[in-house]
Structure 1
Amino acid sequence: MAKHPVEKKVTWATAAAYLGSTGLLAILTAVQGDAGLVEPLPDPLEPVVLALVPAAITFAAGWKAKHTPRPSGG
């Protein structure tokens, strides 16, 4: 089985997931204590919306990154 390099899309999405789940979630946790930012949302919807932020960052990073070229043949 031929070994191929890890796709740039996978690398960027992984990095975004890591950063989104560590640093960004810490910020969002602090923001969650400040109800002014999410106040317009219904209470049951607030945690769902806050959890979608890292997922959206991960999706955007994977979407934006270019595919890694693969050697032709074999």
Structure 2
Amino acid sequence: MPNHPVEAKVKAASTGAFLAGLAVAMLNAVVADSSLLGPLPAWLQAPLLALVPTALAWLGGYQARHTPRSIV
């Protein structure tokens, strides 16, 4: 598999998902209703909320049709 740089759409999707995950984590902390993530240790809940959407957005963006590149 060729090693190409990650496209801008993938970086943007990952950044947006990361920020959305952080926002959800902050809301979860402010509301103090962590019953959804109750079985997990407290130190793992915030990183998990931030990283899972990021990984899914990256994978979705990477699997999407890529921008054609011209051969120079």
Does the pair score TM above 0.5?
yes
Matched, 1:29 2:31: no
Q: Tell me how large the CA RMSD over aligned residues is.
A: 2.5
| Alpha-carbon distance, 1:55 to partner | 2.4
Summarize the alignment of residues 1-74 of structure 1 with structure 2, pairs less than 5 Å apart. 10-32=7-29, 33-72=32-71, 74=72
Task: List runs of 5+ in structure 2 lacking aligned partners.
Answer: none
Percent identity among equivalent residues?
33
1: CA distance between counterparts of 2:20 and 2:50?
13
Gaps of 5+ in 1: 1-6
Q: 1:45 to 1:18 in 2, by over 3 A?
A: closer
Equivalent pairs counted in the alignment come to 66
Using the TM superposition, name which of 48-57 and 33-42 deviates more: 48-57
Q: TM-score when scaled to structure 2?
A: 0.60
Q: Which 4+ stretches in 1 moved above 3 angstroms?
A: none
Q: Whose radius of gyration is greater, 1 or 2?
A: 1
TM-score by length of 1: 0.59
